[in-house]
Structure 1
Amino acid sequence: MHRCFIEKQHWSGSCATPSPAEAHHICHVLRARDGESVRLFDGTGTEATALLHIAEGSVRLEIQALNPPSERGLDIVLIQAILKGNRMDWLIEKATELGVSRIVPVITKRVIPRGSDDGGSQKQERWQRIAVSAAKQCGTPWLPVIDPPTALESAIHAAVSGGPVLVGALAGNPRSLAAEIDRWRPQAVGRIAIVIGPEGDLTPEETDALLEAGCIPVSFGTLVLRAETAALFAISALGCMLNRR
């Protein structure tokens, strides 16, 4: 059964109205037909089965059965230095599939800005489309919140007040991620954040600033992982070992 994304504000009673882009996707990409049943999700845990009505270029969905919102479990926040090329797009896709609740793209000293983008809004919109596509494919009813690109200092200042913040560290004497997970396992942790640096890692000054702000350095083992690999390793480990769904 095809899956369609419609934001909650466009659900009204027993009807849901897709955006023009989603209507085009339903008709011309999925090639769904009038009277066909589809699955809807709103990105906040709610799903429904709906009947598709296509007439004279308009698309409307009649909700047949509504599922109550599912529990998300542990909130995992990925604070990720923006990666080069299409690696950031790929990471957004995979992080969505793995169930992160928020992705905070950050600008660090070793992040190379590309082109002109008014406040990063174009990147943010593209990443949101990628997340929607990933959610449709993997079956999750949840979408991550994707922040606009922001300075590392601002992101950390906001993150440390909401729970533990781990940072992947290559230098110094960090604890293993497994040991840190064991430390938090007995506690009722509802949210945990992980900071991953860019290609070439964070600078020593950036790492020192994170530690001074209260972030906890962790190691992912003896191998030096690519930034996107490190992010997915950390997300998977945290989700597997700390989720209580």
Structure 2
Amino acid sequence: MVRRVREGERLQLVDGTGGTAEVAVTATGKKDLTARVETVEQLPAEEPRVTVVQAIPKGERADLAVEVLTEVGADVIVPWAAERCVGVWRPERAERSLARWRATAREAAKQARRAFVPEVTEQADTTRVAELLEQASVPVVLHEAASGPIGNLPIPGRGSIVVVVGPEGGISEAELAAFAAVGAEPVRLGSSVLRTSTAGVAAVAALLARTRRWS
């Protein structure tokens, strides 16, 4: 769909790193427009910062995962080559797949009118994921068999939250052991088992609802 901007309309522009400007359109052409800048603001990064480690889904479910994580407020998205991933980024396709995730995040940020576009990092292995969990203020590993609910986790006003979302086949015992070794015990979302493409957005929403970011 093409949206036709008319003279007199007001637009909000963002640079993806917190910079915003409100402008009034003064003239339009077939391929360009002229606008008057009315306000400019540099927004601070929101806290707590949320990183989602997303096990690589298969096919279009990867696009869905990145899209909804961006819309809900994830600050960093980390593609994870988990042991049981159905989707695999082979060397010859890794660069193209990463570029697609980043493009999806940019477009979703525009749709959501976010001042910040999430950072999509290089593909991570389990060792790197364990490091991220160890550094987090609140490490969150989603697992349907966990005894404790996500609602019991303490949420800080500052710092960082790292959420690990496993693949369709689940997080392996070896991966759970690696995460437990750095103090990250699994938690559950509820009685339902969500798909890997939607579990992350549910978890982030449940956590952000208890922070000042959503207050």
Same-fold call, TM cutoff 0.5: yes
Give the corresponding residue for 1:216.
185
Give the corresponding residue for 2:160.
191
> Which of 48, 59, 69 is matched with 2:21 structurally?
48
Aligned length: 213
CA distance in 2, matches of 1:51, 1:61: 5
Does residue 1:174 correspond to 2:147, yes or no?
Answer: yes
Contact 1:119 1:149 in 2 (8 A): no
3-state SS of paired residue (1:228): helix
Structure 2 residue runs of 5 or longer lacking an equivalent are none
Aligned CA distance change for structure 1 residues 220 and 114 (closer, same or farther; 3 Å): closer
Aligned CA distance change for structure 1 residues 100 and 35 (closer, same or farther; 3 Å): same
Does residue 1:83 correspond to 2:57, yes or no?
Answer: yes
Give the corresponding residue for 2:199.
230
CA distance in 2, matches of 1:156, 1:63: 45
CA distance in 1, matches of 2:184, 2:137: 10
Greater relative CO, 1 or 2 (CA 8 Å, sep 6+) = 2
CA distance in 1, matches of 2:47, 2:29: 40
Deviation (angstroms), 1:70:
5.1
Q: Deviations over 1:129-154 (max 9, x none)?
A: 21222122222212111112221221
CA distance in 1, matches of 2:133, 2:179: 11
Residue 208 of structure 1 aligns with an amino acid whose one-letter code is: A
> Which of 97, 101, 106 is matched with 1:123 structurally?
97
TM-score, L = length of structure 1: 0.75
Deviation (angstroms), 1:60:
7.4
Q: How does 1:110-149 map to 2 (within 5 A)?
A: 110-114=84-88, 116-118=90-92, 120-149=94-123
3-state SS of paired residue (1:129): helix
Give the corresponding residue for 1:160.
134
Does residue 1:95 correspond to 2:69, yes or no?
Answer: yes
3-state SS of paired residue (1:150): coil
3-state SS of paired residue (2:171): coil
Aligned CA distance change for structure 1 residues 150 and 115 (closer, same or farther; 3 Å): closer
Contact 2:166 2:196 in 1 (8 A): yes
Contact 2:136 2:159 in 1 (8 A): no
Contact 1:119 1:148 in 2 (8 A): no
State percent identity of aligned pairs: 27
CA distance in 2, matches of 1:56, 1:140: 27
Aligned CA distance change for structure 1 residues 61 and 146 (closer, same or farther; 3 Å): farther
Q: Deviations over 1:81-140 (max 9, x none)?
A: 000111111111111111111111100111235575557222222222212221222222
